[in-house]
Amino acid sequence: MRETVADARPDLLALAAELVGSDPFERVADGTRFAQPAIYCAALAGWERLRARDPDWMAGHSLGELAALAAAGAMDDAEGLRLAARRGALSQDAAERGGGGMLALIGERESALELAEKHELTVANDNAPEQLVVAGPADALDAARRSARSAGLRALRLPVAGAFHSQEMESAVAGFREALAEVEFREPRIPVVSCATAREFISPRSELADALVRPVRWRQTVRALRERGVESFVETGPGDVLTKLVKRNLEAAVASHA
């Protein structure tokens, strides 16, 4: 990721290092306060390859909403990076106080929902018909993972130190809302669909803050884009997770990475 950013957006790389006190790509394993600005930079570096293709719609998964809004012209790239750094720091602080985590449940949807309810876990990411990510206390996640097989599910503990998109993040909301209040938002050149509401952004300041404690509705977002005529999806961020999730939601869709 760093090489791509250094080549396409060295300005963002320099600003990210200034904001977090060191090269965030060298410290992504140290927590989300470094990972979030690094991922934001990588997503916008990938966007540089797509500018000329003039997409009809944009969307982002969780943090990716900041990159989508910046790429669409709703805010300056640098302002988006400042938000990503602030969001990362606030989220890590909340996670360190909460001590929770996240668990991916692969398999029949109703069984996954029943297992989450049984162990009092929050659905944090509704990614695809057969992929839910739940969040909550570590002991509840461990109990759910142990009983997943008997429910016909495959359970994978995610390598994150926090119950993101759950009430564990509540303490981060006020600080992020303050950071958002300082940003000048504009009408985007390209419409952006929120992954929290599966609708076009109306008020980014409030919607982005609220999204910290709301589930990512990626399954519904992909379908909403399809209903708007989207047939081809291109992922700009690091990796190909969203590319695969698009195919799991829409078998006939064309999905690729920038």
Q: Is residue 194 flagged as an active site residue?
A: no
Examine the pLDDT at 53 and tell me if it is beyond 90.
Answer: no
Full set of structural domains in the chain with CATH: 2-97+166-257 (3.40.366.10), 100-157 (3.30.70.250)
Residue 64 to residue 233: CA distance in whole angstroms: 15
Give 4's contacts (C-beta < 8 A, 6+ positions apart). Answer: 42, 45, 46
Give the pLDDT of residue 51.
81
**Amino acid at the residue 67:** A
Q: Per-residue pLDDT tens for 172-230?
A: 999 999 999 999 999 999 999 999 999 999 999 999 999 999 999 999 999 999 999 99
Q: Is residue 165 flagged as an active site residue?
A: yes
Q: Per-residue pLDDT tens for 56-99?
A: 999 999 999 999 999 999 999 999 999 999 999 999 999 999 99
Active-site option among 61, 91, 119, 165: 165
Active-site option among 62, 91, 166, 194: 62
Examine the pLDDT at 50 and tell me if it is beyond 90.
Answer: no
Q: Where are the alpha helices (DSSP H) in 130-235?
A: 138-148, 170-181, 204-210, 218-227
Q: Per-residue pLDDT tens for 102-158?
A: 999 999 999 999 999 999 999 999 999 999 999 999 999 999 999 999 999 999 999
pTM here? 0.95
Tell me the mean pLDDT in the region 13-42.
Answer: 97
Q: Per-residue pLDDT tens for 231-241?
A: 999 999 888 99
